[in-house]
């Protein structure tokens, strides 16, 4: 495998991991469908992801997760649960698609880059939903749930089609989101005299 192919593999893993920060099961479902149809090679220990039972189970889990985010109060509870789980899901999906890397390198990249980007993405969405809950009385939360689902699906599909472009887009969007959150948190503080 060439160095470029390795870079694509890592970028794909990071892109899918970032999407797990928006929805845990949608990127895993997309990866499972792509692997099941033969369009996505997986690491040897993750062949189970390309099976029909995994595809069905992930489809059900994704549907339940998507619908649950439209229930007021449940969405905030899910964010609390999803924050640590995003790190785990991001690590797993990144490791699954980072093929032909030495195990030590693969797992280090999967944990640091995959889990890290998934955790960061989930943290940003948790803060956004919490602010929406406070500012709109949760009336704005369905719009956020729709944007997160759409974003997760779009990033997952884009990661499969153009991994390096996805990586750049994810880094740029997270940088902008962190700047926006900092600006909001600074503007909410009382001014010093």
pLDDT at 188: 63
pLDDT at 192 over 80: no
The pLDDT assigned to 182 comes to 84
Interval 149-159 mean pLDDT:
96
pLDDT band at 190 (very low <50, low <70, confident <90, very high): very low
Q: Is 3 exposed, middle or buried (0-12, 13-18, 19+ CB in 10 A)?
A: exposed
Q: CA distances (Å), 188 to each of 93, 97, 152, 162, in order? A: 37, 41, 29, 39
* Banded pLDDT at 189 (limits 50, 70, 90): low
Alpha carbons 1 and 32: distance in angstroms, whole number: 23
Q: What is the predicted pLDDT for the residue at 142?
A: 95
pLDDT digits (tens, 9 = 90+) for 90-128: 999 999 999 888 899 999 999 999 999 999 999 989 988
The pTM for the full model equals: 0.90
Cβ burial 17-35 (10 Å sphere, 16+ → b, else e): bbbbbbbbbbbbbbbbbbb
| Residues 16-70 pLDDT 10s | 999 999 999 999 999 999 999 999 999 989 999 999 999 999 999 999 999 999 9
For 24, phi then psi, to 5°, come to -65, -45
Q: Where are the domains of the chain?
A: 3-187
């Amino acid at each position: 495998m060439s160095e470029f192919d390795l870079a694509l593999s890592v970028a794909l893993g990071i892109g899918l991991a970032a999407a797990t920060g928006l929805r845990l099961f949608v990127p895993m479902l997309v990866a499972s469908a792509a692997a099941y149809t033969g369009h996505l090679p997986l690491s040897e220990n993750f062949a189970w992801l390309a099976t029909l039972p995994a595809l069905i189970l992930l489809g059900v889990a994704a549907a339940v997760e998507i619908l649950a985010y439209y229930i007021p109060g449940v969405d905030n509870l899910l964010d609390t649960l999803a924050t640590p789980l995003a790190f785990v899901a991001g690590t797993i999906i990144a490791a699954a698609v980072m093929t032909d890397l030495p195990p030590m390198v693969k797992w280090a990249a999967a944990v640091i880059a995959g889990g890290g980007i998934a955790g960061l993405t989930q943290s940003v969405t948790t803060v956004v939903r919490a602010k929406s809950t406070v500012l709109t009385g949760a009336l704005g939360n369905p719009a956020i749930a729709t944007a997160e689902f759409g974003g997760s699906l779009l990033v997952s599909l884009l990661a499969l089609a153009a991994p390096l472009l996805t990586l750049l887009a994810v880094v740029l969007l997270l940088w902008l989101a962190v700047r926006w959150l900092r600006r909001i948190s600074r503007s909410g503080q009382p001014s010093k005299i």
